[in-house]
Amino acid sequence: MRMLLVILVLTSCISCAKRAPLPESDLEFISVGRSEESALLDVRFSSNTDLLRFFEEKAGQNQVGDTLICSLDKNGHFDTKQDLVRYLEGEVAEVESETSGVKHFYSAEVFAVYTPDGGTLSKFISKEQLLSVLGVREDLACKFRTAAYSYGPYYSNPMKVPASAFTHAIEQKREQ
């Protein structure tokens, strides 16, 4: 009986153990251009942290799902991807780093998605629909998202991207 009590106490202590706090990641917008090889839009940005090795450096864990997510919804702000109905999303890749290691530079080729039912069903948004949505927005809030097994999802601080930067890149692509 005592052994069972000890096991229960240890189990509850382990489940309440705090994880190491993670630092905030700040993103800085650089540009939006057109992808050379596809119909996707290429978003360039920098960060004060190494986003692609974030959990490895901060918690000694592997991470999955390195994406940039930009809200197309009216309020523009979101805590998680599941909060969004319309958004831009794309996988993040490192494009170059300064030798000082102070900033890291990234690219994400994003596509527009509409999830009317909270994420079960997803549809691509056409260029015309995307231009219509961008036409009524001043800027879009974008966040880097990744995850690690014992931490769950991690979102960076929001980065403001002018909606006109996306519009300009789409219209450039149409002209060619």
- Note the pLDDT tens digit of each residue in 16-35: 444 556 778 999 999 999 87
pTM comes to 0.82
- Note the pLDDT tens digit of each residue in 72-126: 998 888 888 888 899 999 999 999 765 556 688 999 999 999 998 766 788 999 9
Closest CA to 86 of 96, 97, 75: 75
Q: What pLDDT, on the 0 to 100 scale, is given for residue 77?
A: 83
User: What gap in Å lies between CA 44 and CA 28, rounded to an integer?
Assistant: 9
